[in-house]
Structure 1
Amino acid sequence: MLLENQVCFDVHAASRALDGVYRKELRELGLTYPQYLAMMVLWERQPVTVKELGVALRLDSGTLSPLLKRLEAAGLVHRERSAADERSVLVRLTPEGAGLRRRALEVPGRIFEATGLDLAEVLELQGTLRRLTAALDEAAR
C-alpha cells in the first residue's frame, strides 16, 4: 500500500507535470489546457455539437459549458442552436479562433521536446496509455 508502488499515482503525477508544461506553453496563447484541447477538436473539424465535443474530450456538460463560455467571452468560439435540432448547440470557431491555430502550431513540438523522450518512446507510451484507458473503461462498465 505504498504510494510509490501505485500505478494510479504515477499516471496522476505525470499528468500534473504535463499540465504544468502546457500551462507555461499556453500562457502566451491565453488558453488553459482544457481550452486548448477543445480548440484542437475545433481546428480539426467544425461545427461540432456540444455533445460531440464532450465525447471527444471526455468531459461532462457541467465542465464543458463553463469552458465554452470562457472561450466565447474571449472571442474564439461562437455557440448557436442547430437549425436541424433546436436541442443541439453547435460550436464554431470565430475568425480569431481559427487564426489562433497558426500560433499554436509550435506547441506540440515544444511539449515533445520537454518530455525528454524520443519519437519511438512517445509512440510506445501513447499505445500503452490508450490500451490502459480502454481496459479501465471496460472495467468501469
Structure 2
Amino acid sequence: MSNGSNGERTATHGDVDAEEIGQAADALFVAMRRARSAGAEHVGGLSLAQVSLLEPLASETDIPVGRLASSADVSVPTATRMLQQLEAKGIVARRRSPADERRVLVSLTDDGADRLAALRSRLRERQTRAYEAFTPAERVLLVTLLRRLTELVAHSDTDAGAGSA
C-alpha cells in the first residue's frame, strides 16, 4: 500500500481489506449527501429530507402519506409535519382520498414540480461533470460495480437472517 495525496492508504497492487472498502464507501456516501443537500437548498430551498419525501411525486400523483413516508424512510407523523411545511410553501397539495377519508393523498403543485425538476436537472449536470473524469471503460465498470454493490448491500440483512436460521 502507498499513501495517496490526502494521506489515505491506497492499493497499488493486489487487494484492499473490508475496512478500506468501508471507509471509501462511507466517504462517498458523505460526499454525495453533502452535494445533494447543497444542491437542494440552493435550487428549491428544500432540505435533503424533503427532497427524499418528494422524489416519488416526480413520476406519480396522489400518493398516500404513508407510502411517501415509507419511501423516504421516515415515520408517518414526521412525513405529515414535513408535508404541512411543504404545503405552506406551495410545493405540495394534500387532499383526503374520496375512497377513504382517513387517507391523505399528496401531489406536487406546478411550482413544486418545477422546483423538483430543476433540482434533479442540476444534480444530473453535476454528476455528468464528475463522471467525465472517467474514461468510457471506467464508467461502464463504475456503473456495473455500483449496481452490484447496491444489490449486495440491499440483500445483506436478508442473507444474514437466513444464515442464522
Q: TM-score, normalised by structure 1?
A: 0.74
Shift of 1:65: 1.6
Distance 2:108 2:161 in 1: 31
Q: Contact conserved, 1:22 with 1:111, CA < 8 A, in 2?
A: no
Secondary structure at 1:78 match in 2: strand
Deviations 1:29-76 (CA, angstroms, capped at 9, x unpaired): 211112112221001111101011122222211321222122112211
Deviations 1:84-111 (CA, angstroms, capped at 9, x unpaired): 1111001011111122243122314534
- Structure richer in helix, relative to its length: 1
- Cα gap change, 1:61 to 1:132, in 2 (>3 Å): same
Amino acid at match of 1:122: L
- Which of 147, 151, 164 aligns to 1:123? It is 147
Where structure 1 has 5 or more consecutive residues not aligned to the other structure, the ranges are none
- Cα gap change, 1:134 to 1:43, in 2 (>3 Å): farther
- Which of 69, 72, 95 aligns to 2:87? It is 72
Where structure 2 has 5 or more consecutive residues not aligned to the other structure, the ranges are 1-17, 134-138
Q: Contact conserved, 1:81 with 1:88, CA < 8 A, in 2?
A: yes
Distance 1:99 1:137 in 2: 43
Amino acid at match of 1:35: Q
Deviations 1:104-137 (CA, angstroms, capped at 9, x unpaired): 2231453476588732232222222222355579
What is the identity percentage for the equivalent residue pairs of Structure 1 and Structure 2? 24
Work out the number of aligned pairs and report it.
Answer: 136
Aligned ranges for residues 75-94 of structure 1 at < 5 Å?
Answer: 75-94=90-109
* Higher Rg of the two aligned structures: 2
Q: Contact conserved, 1:35 with 1:67, CA < 8 A, in 2?
A: yes
- Which of 20, 28, 37 aligns to 1:23? It is 37
Q: TM-score, normalised by structure 2?
A: 0.65
Amino acid at match of 1:110: R
Distance 1:53 1:114 in 2: 30
Shift of 1:20: 1.4
